[in-house]
Chains A and B, each alone.
Chain A
Amino acid sequence: MAETVPVKSAGIHRDRFAQLTIYIAAFMVCAAFVWILSDIVRGGVAHLSWSFLVDAPRDAGRAGGIGPILVSTVLVLLVALTAALPLGWMTAALLAEYVSADSTFGSAVRYSLQVLAGVPSIVFGLFGNAFFSIYLGMGFSILSGGLTLACMLLPILVSTGEAGLRAVPDAYRLSAAALGMSRKTTLFHLLLPAAAPSLAAGLLLGIGRAVAETAALLFTSGYVDRMPGSLLDSGRTLAIHIFDLSMNVSGGDASAHASALVLITALLLINIAAMRLTAGWQRRKIVPE
């Protein structure tokens, strides 16, 4: 096609150059990703086995597996979600449904969440240590770590939840009200289900963020690598395990790589799920009512 249109050759060269630059940039992004991934796979895949997934770590993690660490990771995540989901989604419902978009209270809540979203995670860690571990006496525990993570997840859950609820057409609210349905029924039976895809997307984003977190957990859930007996025990999460192996344990590289491989696979699966959900949601929004 290009040949049939008379174009000055300088223009063509400029075009080619721009195209090349774009391709190189894209290639570098992909290369970085592939490099990280291949490094982890190369270093870790040999070490990976069923017993690696279920055994307890031995010799500071150089040998053995990551069984207790997976358990602690899941427990921290569950504590975080149990605390953050109801709080986050109820706040989202409050902002989207019960206060007007430009009210002072709403803007104040929204602003504080924005600030919270920008706070570095190490600061969350220090706060969690001071508040949950020391002030509330939870010590270094899964509970304390989970609650600290919950504070970090709130901004994500609230903003995705609010956006999802606001995307629900007003016609539903008006016709529900015209049918004499209470606001509560409307919220729980119509609006939240209609916003479910974006709530789920926010949930998965939050899980990804939580699973990858180290700094906020260093001073809260700690890094004891035994199998936790209760939520008040300290527990080492996967991300911290990787950090510890590569920073403090010489000869722990193979284990670190294998753990990273497990973590990345889990994150990848979560992301794929999130993407599919979001795509499904967008498709549904585009389809005419």
Chain B
Amino acid sequence: MHGGSEQLRRPASEKTPGKGDGAYTLGPMQAGPVCCDPQPLIQVDNLSLRYGAKTALDNVTLDIYRGCITALIGPSGCGKTSFLSSINRLTDLIPGCRTTGRIRVDGCDIHESACDVQALRQRIGMVFQKPTPFPVSISRNIELPLHERGIKRRADTAAIIEQVLRDVGLWDEVRDRLHASALSLSGGQQQRLCIARALALNPQILLMDEPCSALDPIASGIVEDLIGQLRGRYTIVIVTHNLAQARRIANYAAFFWVGGHAGRLVEFGHCRQIFESPAHELTAAYVNGVRG
């Protein structure tokens, strides 16, 4: 990984996310390459995905670039969540779900038997559409995956917990009740806790499935700022129905559509290009809010 300042990594044309920018201590920056020098980190080739007899994704081929934010947009049911879940093989847990095609993460085929799924999932953080805190205390939510990873010393876990909670702007709200149940947090706080929990494992990749859909505009703004600050340190794939948000934070955008019976990738490109000069008429209609 090479250096690059916050400014460099954010294309000048993009609006700087509002308040709170830089308010979090993200620790030492290990910035990734600037986004005009794309190196694929996740390579998806001819991915098809079926739930029983129903095809949800048909032949998707897509590269996700290291250190960049890639937004997945498209109508409901076009397979965005399914696409995300196949990257960390979470689809293995869904009965009747089968994938074909090849996905490589950092050059290594995730379907090969040599690939350790558990290690893969520790490298890939995932935030779900609905907040999914465990029904245990706030600190234990973060400790559990850390223990599994082999980080067990109290001092270490405490330091990581504080760091990631500061990163998501939750520390000041919960520092006095780390041992309270995570279910006692508000929905927005729960979602930020889930993001913190994913960050605690120091993943290389973050998959975020509509992380702001359950949040009010303020919490959504906080999360959005956070995502902006994570750019460069993490490779982020974010699903969002909020096109303005995609436009604000993403470097690349992929537009999915349900064609025939299955979801497929219609267009992939620089965020600016997708929104300002889409090559495909479906994309143009969707980003301009016209019904396709």
Residues of A within 8 A of B (CB): 100-101, 171-182, 185, 189-190, 193-194, 289
Contacts and interface: CB of A to CB of B under 8 A. Distances in A.
Main DSSP-derived SS at the B contact region: helix
Contacts of B120: 180
B149 A180 contact: yes
B121 A180 contact: yes
Given A171-B132, A194-B135, A289-B183, A178 B90 contact: yes
A98 to B, nearest CB: 12
B201 interface: yes
Contacts of A100: 95
Interface string B92-124: 010100000000000000000000001111101
Name the residue in B119, B134, B144, B147 with the highest tally of chain A Cβ atoms < 10 Å from its Cβ.
B134
A180 B145 contact: yes
B130 A177 contact: no
29 contacts: A171-B128, A171-B130, A173-B93, A174-B132, A176-B144, A177-B93, A177-B121, A178-B90, A178-B125, A178-B126, A179-B122, A179-B145, A179-B148, A179-B198, A180-B118, A180-B119, A180-B120, A180-B145, A180-B148, A181-B118, A181-B144, A181-B145, A181-B148, A182-B148, A185-B147, A185-B148, A190-B135, A193-B136, A289-B183
Contacts of A185: 144, 147-148
Nearest to A169: B132
Contacts, number: 69
B29 to A, nearest CB: 25
B235 interface: no
Size bracket of the B interface: 20 to 34
A172 B95 contact: no
Contacts of B135: 172, 190, 193-194
Nearest 5 A-B pairs (CB), nearest first?
A: A180-B122, A179-B145, A178-B126, A180-B121, A175-B132
Name the residue in A180, A182, A194 with the highest tally of chain B Cβ atoms < 10 Å from its Cβ.
A180
B197 interface: yes
A178 B118 contact: no
